[in-house]
Copies of this chain bind each other. A is one copy, B any other.
Amino acid sequence: MLRLSRLTDYGTVIMAHMAREPGHVYSAAELAGAVGVALPTASKILKTLARKALLHSLRGAHGGYLLARPPREISIAQVIDALEGPFGVTECSVAAGLCPQENACALRRHWQRIDRALRQTLDGLTLEDMTQPVPAGMPERRRAQHDRRHRSDGHG
Contacts and interface: CB of A to CB of B under 8 A. Distances in A.
Contact of A114 (B78, B86, B121): B121
Contacts of A50: none
A114 B124 CA distance: 10
Given A35-B103, A119-B150, 12 more contacts: A1-B85, A1-B87, A2-B4, A2-B84, A2-B118, A4-B89, A16-B103, A35-B99, A36-B100, A106-B134, A109-B133, A123-B155
Contacts of A125: 110, 114
A3 B150 contact: no
Contacts of A35: 99, 101, 103-104
15 contacts: A1-B87, A2-B4, A2-B80, A2-B89, A4-B89, A12-B107, A13-B103, A16-B106, A17-B103, A77-B155, A78-B152, A81-B155, A106-B134, A113-B134, A124-B151
Contacts of A114: 76, 121-122, 125
A6 B143 CA distance: 32
B98 A120 contact: no
Interface of A: 1-6, 9, 12-13, 16-17, 20, 34-37, 73, 75-78, 80-81, 84-92, 98-101, 103-104, 106-107, 109-110, 113-114, 116-126, 129-131, 133-134, 139, 143, 145-146, 148, 150-152, 155
